[in-house]
Amino acid sequence: MSARAILGRLLGVIPTLLITWTFVFGAMRLVPGDPVLLMLQGTPISDSAMEAARAKLGVDRPLVVQYASFLANAAVGDFGDSFRSRQPVTKLIAAEFPKTLELALGGFLVGVVLGTTLGVMAGVRPNGWVDTLCMTTALVGLSLPSFWIGMILIQVFATQLGWVPVLGSGWDALILPSITVGLFLAGGLARLTRNSIIEVMGQDYIRTARAKGLTTVRVVAKHAMRNAMIPPLTLLGIQFALLIGGAVVTETVFARPGIGKLLVQAVLEKDFPVVQGIVVLTTGVYVLINVLIDIAYGIIDPRVQE
């Protein structure tokens, strides 16, 4: 894929983000109550102080101006100060973001390895007992409440067996949360991979590969998997949304710091600048990831390049 094409894709993101962020802006205006009162959360305030606070928040300006400045600020990553901690939202997010990223990557790894393995095993010999077993496992993965399985994992592997710590910042503390996030991802991915493998295994080029005398393992691992990866990859963007969702819940279960925990906390405390900042950020990251996947797609499938 040429640099030009990549740049084009990246620029194509702008209108999309504009719509998304406009929606966030609109949603935030729908919150009942005066933002200053929300910010003060019950502390009494004089009229003059109120005026000053309104001016500082910028809510005394016309809506259009507020909108423009919201977009301008969002573009440079400025979301104002938290109502609670009075710290810049950007700073709060920046502190938590790496933690969430770590968890998302861990979950991604578990999900992709487990999901692909199950899917390939099921798809190579469809309708056999291996297929049934793998697909039932995948469905269990999709049906397990991640907060529940997270708590059970903690109870069994951390509390009872003591194999891994629950808290801490080491990599071993990341194992259980990653599994929790990964299980759900694996379920969906396994199903996609299975269908894809079944379809690919029926293609002529697989017959050619077998006719050349390759071993079954090579035929599957090289030709089938490379081709079968393409459709699930296009859906990896959607999978990433699951990853974010999984991280939000898992952070709460494992009492891990992170964006998800921050977000839930902010909603409960009506800390709107933080909510707004996190939503804008996650949509931005989400859109960007999808563009990157698009680009990766062009590398795996040579036909896309033209």
Partner 1 sequence: MSDAPLLDVRGLGISFLIGGGSVHATQDVSFSVQPGERVGIVGESGCGKTITGLSLLGLLPRATTHVAGQAMFEGENLVGLPLSRMRHVRGRKISMIFQEPMSALDPVFTIGQQIGETILTHFKVDKKQARERAIEALASVGIPSPARVHDSYPHQLSGGMRQRAMIAIALVCEPKLLIADEPTTALDVTIQAQIIDLLMELSAKQGTALLFITHDLGVIAETCTRMITMYAGQVVEDAPVDSALVRPRHPYTSGLLRSLPRLSARGAVLPSIAGRVPTLRDMPTGCRFAERCAHRQEACAAPQVIEPAGGHLVRCWRHGELVLPGALTDREAAA
Partner 2 sequence: MSAAVSDAVLPRQPSFFTRLLGAPGAVIGTVVIVVVLGLAAFAPYLAPYDWNATSQCRRLAPLSAEHWFGCDLFGRDIFSRVIYGARFSLAMGLTTVAISLVFGALLGIVIAYGGGKVDRIGARVIDAMLCFPPIILAILIVAVLGVGLVNAALAVGISGIPRFARITRAATLTLVARDFVESARAVGATHTRIVLRHLLPNLAPILIVIATLDLGSAVLFTATLSFLGLGAQPPTPEWGAMLNAGREYVRYAPWTMIFPGLALFLTVMAVNLVGDRLSLILDPRQRDRS
Residues that bind partner 2 (CB under 8 A): 15-20, 23-24, 27-28, 30-31, 126-127, 136, 139-140, 142-149, 151-152, 154-155, 159, 195, 198-199, 240-242, 244-245, 248-249, 252-253, 263-264, 266-268, 270, 272, 275, 278-279, 282-283, 286-287, 290
96/65 Cα distance (integer angstroms): 31
Smaller CB separation from partner 1, 161 or 211: 211
Instruction: Provide, rounded to whole angstroms, the least separation between the CB of residue 226 and partner 1.
Output: 5
The two most distant CA atoms of the chain are separated, in Å, by 86
Smaller CB separation from partner 1, 146 or 196: 196
Half-sphere CA count of 306, side-chain side, radius 13 A: 2
- Residues 41, 85, 169, 208: which binds partner 1 (CB under 8 A)? 208
Interacting partner of 240 out of partner 2, partner 1, none (Cβ under 5 to 8 A depending on kind)? partner 2
Q: Which residues of 273-292 are buried (b: 16+ CB within 10 A; e: fewer)?
A: bbbbbbbbbbbbbbbebbbb
- Residues 11, 205, 255, 288: which binds partner 1 (CB under 8 A)? 205
What residues have CB less than 8 Å from 183, skipping those under 6 apart?
110, 111, 114, 141, 144, 146, 149
Retrieve residue 25's tokens: 């802006």
- Which of the stretches 34-42, 184-192, 255-263, 296-304 binds partner 1 when contact is defined by CB under 8 A? 296-304
How far is residue 292 from each of residues 93, 192, 306, measured CA to CA in Å? 22, 20, 17
Retrieve residue 202's tokens: 């029926």
Q: Which of 281, 291, 197, 280 is nearest to 236 (CA)?
A: 291
42 is an interface residue for partner 1 by CB under 8 A:
no
- Which of the stretches 1-9, 79-87, 181-189, 200-208 binds partner 1 when contact is defined by CB under 8 A? 200-208
Dihedral (C-alpha) 36, 80, 253, 23: value to the nearest 10 degrees? Answer: 80
195/143 Cα distance (integer angstroms): 19
226 is an interface residue for partner 1 by CB under 8 A:
yes
217 is an interface residue for partner 1 by CB under 8 A:
no
Please tell me the count of residues contacting partner 1 according to CB under 8 A: 23
Amino acid identity of residue 200, one-letter, is V
Cβ-in-10-Å burial (0-12, 13-18, 19+) of 14 comes to exposed
Contact between 122 and 130 (Cβ < 8 Å): yes
- Which of the stretches 70-78, 138-146, 163-171, 203-211 binds partner 1 when contact is defined by CB under 8 A? 203-211
Smaller CB separation from partner 1, 16 or 215: 215
- Residues 6, 214, 238, 264: which binds partner 1 (CB under 8 A)? 214
Instruction: Provide, rounded to whole angstroms, the least separation between the CB of residue 230 and partner 1.
Output: 8
Smaller CB separation from partner 2, 18 or 49: 18
Site residues (CB under 8 A) for partner 1?
A: 125, 203-205, 207-216, 222-223, 226-227, 230, 300-303
